[in-house]
Chain A
Amino acid sequence: KAGVTQTPRYLIKTRGQQVTLSCSPISGHRSVSWYQQTPGQGLQFLFEYFSETQRNKGNFPGRFSGRQFSNSRSEMNVSTLELGDSALYLCASSLDTGVGSPLHFGNGTRLTVT
């Protein structure tokens, strides 16, 4: 089985721009979660989608949004980028919603905002 695929691997954007990151989960997994990882804040939960519905949301501003498609693929969007948005963005999929199943992570998208 193919693992979780995230594209692009690296991204450089300018303050004020917007960005869209993509995640393809493991086949058969219906839950997709997004995390932001920075040296200062560590791993912070962004949101979780299950069957195209947002099931859970972390404490991030409304500039961070996401969606999930009928094939379980997910995208997250960050608008009006700030320097502090520079981070590794990780997507993870699991069989079920909630936290009873292990998460399978992609290798992330490294976003640099200049």
Chain B
Amino acid sequence: SQQGEEDPQALSIQEGENATMNCSYKTSINNLQWYRQNSGRGLVHLILIRSNEREKHSGRLRVTLDTSKKSSSLLITASRAADTASYFCATATWGGGATNKLIFGTGTLLAVQP
């Protein structure tokens, strides 16, 4: 089952523009993670933001988390053609032991045109 729903499903922008992707989820979480996947390859971890954090930065990436709205956003600034990939949010919930889960969203396909 999917916990996170990402919006938009697909996004096409020009190099140099900013890209914003949103993730909404349904249940309380302990942390939220963003991953990137290039076509047909494995996922690469980008950022982990804990439930008590509101914003986090890593290079050209900025992630926000609003637990009251159960939503997160990923902003990529000054995009490059190499940023073309699918981006997934993943919500982490744990209650101990076998209930630990990392559930991935549906993904946003980002295309950056040179």
A-B pair count, CB < 8 Å, reads 63
Which one of A12-20, A69-77, A95-103 is at the B interface?
A: A95-103
**Which of A48, A102, A106 contacts B48, CB < 8 Å?**
A102
Within 8 A of A (CB), among B76-105: 88, 92-94, 97-105
**Which of B30, B48, B101 contacts A56, CB < 8 Å?**
B101
What is the minimal beta-carbon distance from A112 to any residue of chain B, in angstroms? 13
Is A21 an interface residue when CB atoms closer than 8 A count as contact?
no
Find the residue from B33, B42, B92 having the highest chain A CB count within 10 A.
Answer: B42
**Which of B2, B41, B92 contacts A99, CB < 8 Å?**
B92
Chain A residues with Cβ below 8 Å from B100 are 48, 55-56, 97-99
Chain B interface residue count, Cβ-Cβ cutoff 8 angstroms:
28
Find the residue from A33, A97, A102 having the highest chain B CB count within 10 A.
Answer: A102
A104 with B45: CB separation less than 8 A: yes
Chain A interface residue count, Cβ-Cβ cutoff 8 angstroms:
26
B40 with A42: CB separation less than 8 A: no
Determine the distance from Cα of A106 to Cα of B41 in the docked complex, in whole angstroms: 8
Within 8 A of B (CB), among A90-114: 90, 92, 97-100, 102-108, 110
